[in-house]
Structure 1
Amino acid sequence: MLTDKIHFPNPSTEPEDILSSSLGVIFPDDITNQHGDSLTPIIYLSPVHGAIHLTLADPQGEDNRRLFSHFLWNAAVLLAEYMEEGGEEWGVAGTSVLEVGAGTGLGGLVACLRGARRTVVSDYPAEEVLENIRTNVERNVTVRRGKEGEGKALGEIEVRGHEWGVLDDGFAVENKSAFGRVLVADCLWMPWQHGSLRRSICWFLSEEGRAWVVAGFHTGREKMRGFFDEAACREDGLVVEKIWERNADGAERAWVEDRGIEDVTERKRWLVVAVLKKATG
């Protein structure tokens, strides 16, 4: 199962935390789709690179907390899994990679470890969020550079603030069409931000590049489906090349915009996966 890769170095002894971690046993159809918090670090156990240690931010102010960057979501875990599988479709070796709405930065970290030539991990420019990502980069990439083997081959990695749709600041101007891969994990739950997110993806994506978008259905299908609207995507310079649904056990099915009333527990198990590219003509 997807969540089998998530471990906690210091399991909590608080009753509510023990109950939360036991829900999968008590209710076998349920699944945890968000992991950790500012007091609960996480280990993502990569089958390729071993333990990736992640701390989570403690956003200051209600507006920053509403971004929910202080959790690791299953969409990021699935995206990391795809990159670890690699191959022609999901390989990142030698490419330039941008992660937007990064949260813990897991996607960018895995991209760097998988051989990306250049990786930029970005999130909303809240300093406490960016500083936490820098810490995760330091402990999982920087410390490996001096080691034999993969450490010496790691490409560049940096952390930058980026507000979706803001394309006239220094970072955006310097990096137009600069990335062969753009990673987007669980960033679709705010419908009012869909246009801004699409415009950022198109701006940073190279002409031959691809954006990999993964998102969970935990906030409801209706909140996220508009992101993939064909007309809206084309207006913002993108087209959906492929799109499907996958659950935490690896089963796949076709993407459907409306499945009627969906059971909340079952809905948490599923994610949408899409590959976007720049529109032509």
Structure 2
Amino acid sequence: MSLIDLVQVIAPDREEGPEDIFAAAPMWLFPDDTVNMHGDPESLIVYKSSRFGEIRLQTADPNKEDERRLFSHYLWNAGLKLAELISQPKADSAWSVHDERVVELGVGLGGIVAMLAGASEVAITDYPAPVVLENILRNVDANLTFDSMLHFLSPDSAARVFAIAGFHTGRARLAAFFKVAAEHGLIPEEIYEEDVNGLRRSWAEERDGGLENHTERKKWLVVSRLRKKPDDAG
């Protein structure tokens, strides 16, 4: 399969400007020309990994000309090739990073894939421009929240994840968190709500028909211990 076939670019929902039109022009004017970079500022790039499924990346949005010269608003074929090579299981490839310490220089995707592939420690680096570094953090957070929990969680059946959060972002988001956690094999061993005075009540995905009073809601925390499903535990 071609590297280009591994990528889907989802354009931002906005009206195209002259720069967008001219940036896309070469692929239509020169259809035989190889595409070696993918994405545009604010676009979403979906890398379709055969081993890890979809990895979704936001590109950096350069604000100044010197930031634009960094070309960090693109995913390059070199980054795709790196991701493909280090995705392979240890027994199958000399490129495996399983149990290795990894320093990645200026790709982002490679560091995320290294983490998913079982590297013991990963440092993702890039040019020290705020727009670039913030984008790295955003992509790591979007792709590794649950996988990083599972990566660091001991295979021992006694291992646990402690998850405690306030409701300031909304009850629906926390309910979604626990739903996705369960899909990744992490289920509550104990979960309840507790207010600032120590009063407890049962956890509920929804209260008052979704019209819970904001002032009342912010008094409460959800407190939980998550464990691996029995079939997933070592």
Tell me which interval the TM-score lies in, with the shorter structure as reference length: 0.5 to 0.7
Per-residue deviation, 1:133 = 0.4
- Out of 124-133 and 85-94, give the one that drifted further: 85-94
* Partner residue in 2 for 1:107: 110
Map of 2:36 onto structure 1: 33
- Is 1:89 paired with 2:87? no
Residues 43 and 53, structure 1, Cα contact 8 Å, conserved in 2: yes
| Amino acid paired to 2:101 | S
Of 135, 154, 162, the match for 2:138: 135
Q: Unpaired segments of 5 or more residues in structure 1?
A: 147-151, 156-281
Offset at residue 60 of structure 1 (A): 3.1
The one of the two structures with greater contact order (alpha-carbon pairs below 8 A, sep at least 6) is: 1
1:63 positional shift: 2.0
- What is the total number of aligned residue pairs between the two structures? 147
Residue 205 (structure 2) aligns with: none
Contact 2:44 2:57 in 1 (8 A): yes
With normalisation by structure 2, the TM-score equals 0.55
Give the AA of the match of 1:136.
Answer: N
Task: Give CA deviations for 1:1-24 in whole Å, capped at 9, x if unaligned.
Answer: 111000124587859669939937
Q: Is the 8 A contact 1:57 1:129 kept in 2?
A: yes
Aligned counterparts of 2:45 and 2:94: Cα–Cα separation in 1: 28
- Structure 2 unaligned blocks of 5 or more: 154-234
2:57 matches 1:59: no
Give the root-mean-square deviation of aligned CA atoms. Answer: 2.8
AA matched with 1:93: H
Structure showing greater Rg: 2
2: CA distance, partners of 1:110 / 1:84: 7
The answer to whether the aligner puts 1:23 opposite 2:24 as a matched pair is no
Note closer, same or farther for the CA distance 1:11–1:131 as it changes in structure 2 (3 Å cut): closer
Q: Deviations over 1:52-97 (max 9, x none)?
A: 0000112233222211112111110111111123434110000010
Cα deviation, 1:191-249, whole Å, max 9, x if unaligned, reads xxxxxxxxxxxxxxxxxxxxxxxxxxxxxxxxxxxxxxxxxxxxxxxxxxxxxxxxxxx
Aligned residues of 1:112 and 1:154 also touching (Cα < 8 A): no
Contact 1:115–1:154 (CA under 8 A) maintained in structure 2 = no
Equivalent runs, 1:233-244 vs 2, <5 Å: none
Q: CA deviation at 1:31?
A: 1.8
Report if the CA contact (8 A) 1:41-1:56 is conserved: yes
State the match for 2:151 in structure 1. 153
Distance 1:154 1:110, change over 3 A: farther
Question: Aligned residue for 1:7?
Answer: 8
CA contact (8 A) 2:9 2:38 kept: no
Letter in 2 for 1:7: Q
